[in-house]
Amino acid sequence: MAFVNTSVAGDVAIVTGAASGIGQAIAVALAEAGARVGCADLAASSMDETLARVAEVGGEGVAIAWDVTDPADATRAVAEVEARFGPLALAVNAAGIANAAPATELGLEQWQRMYDVDATGVFLACQAEGRAMLGHGRGSIVNIASMSGSIANRGLTQVHYNSAKAAVIHLTRSLAVEWIRDGVRVNSLSPGYTWTPMNKRPEVADQVVEFAASTPIGRLAEPVEIAGPALFLLSPAASFVTGVDLLVDGGFCCW
């Protein structure tokens, strides 16, 4: 047995938003590390690329259809993964949307949709995952928040996104203290600007150069650079870490 145990080998995991970007990178990293991974996104048919990458690293994955805004989907998705692979031990909630609008023009529908996916969606996922894990007496959940949950990004009008991400950080702390005595850790991970389809949106095209310049490291993160810290939080190496928000931002919040 290693002095510091960083292994997730043999564990059963679920990742939401696994068809793209950060969720995909984390699903592949988990599979490479020997976890069996339920790869969840809006449509199971969107998972071909992720499953191909999982197979490339010699891992095992299954595509799961899961709209995170639907509580019934959450329960079914967790049950599907457990039926296929066994008791759920690890979960990463990465599904999310982003868009921008000046606060004075932001419609209630746009505000509500952001909260449904980025805040309520994370809570519903934690609830279904937590129910399973608490029953098994062990588990580790990582919620993908954002540095926008702690800072207001210069030049981006996204009060709905920023505040929904702040909710993710604080719901994480609340669940962490509620569940830790029953063996379940809950942490959030807040990426800085990361090179994913989310940052290829037309409304941020002109800003990506500025994003890189305003990050001390001088560039955006590659999705794999978010996966490493996520694996740390999931693994037994982080056994005393719960309720934390781990900033992975190339130094952005230092400036």
Residues assigned a catalytic role: 161
Using CB under 6 A as the binding rule, whether residue 91 contacts ligand NAD is answered as no
**What's the CA gap between 20 and 94, in Å, rounded?**
10
Closest to ligand NAD by CB, 3 vs 109, is 109
Considering only residues 214 to 233 of the shown chain, the ones binding ligand NAD according to CB under 6 A are none
Using CB under 6 A as the binding rule, whether residue 15 contacts ligand NAD is answered as no
Using CB under 6 A as the binding rule, whether residue 38 contacts ligand NAD is answered as no
Q: Which of residues 27, 68, 124, 142 is near ligand NAD by CB under 6 A?
A: 68
Closest to ligand NAD by CB, 140 vs 196, is 196
Closest to ligand NAD by CB, 11 vs 41, is 41
Angle value at C-alpha 71, between 123 and 127, nearest 5 degrees: 40
Using CB under 6 A as the binding rule, whether residue 198 contacts ligand NAD is answered as yes
**What's the CA gap between 76 and 154, in Å, rounded?**
40
Using CB under 6 A as the binding rule, whether residue 22 contacts ligand NAD is answered as yes
Segment interacting with ligand NAD (CB under 6 A) among 28-36, 176-184, 196-204, 235-243: 196-204
Cβ-based burial of 177 (10 A; exposed 0-12, middle 13-18, buried ≥19): exposed
Using CB under 6 A as the binding rule, whether residue 64 contacts ligand NAD is answered as no
Q: Which of residues 8, 12, 14, 20 is near ligand NAD by CB under 6 A?
A: 20
Cβ-based burial of 154 (10 A; exposed 0-12, middle 13-18, buried ≥19): exposed
Q: Which of residues 8, 13, 15, 17 is near ligand NAD by CB under 6 A?
A: 17
Closest to ligand NAD by CB, 33 vs 230, is 230
Say how many residues touch ligand NAD, by CB under 6 A: 29
- Note the residues at the interface with ligand NAD (CB under 6 A): 16-17, 19-23, 41-42, 66-69, 94-98, 117, 121, 144, 146, 191, 193-194, 196-199
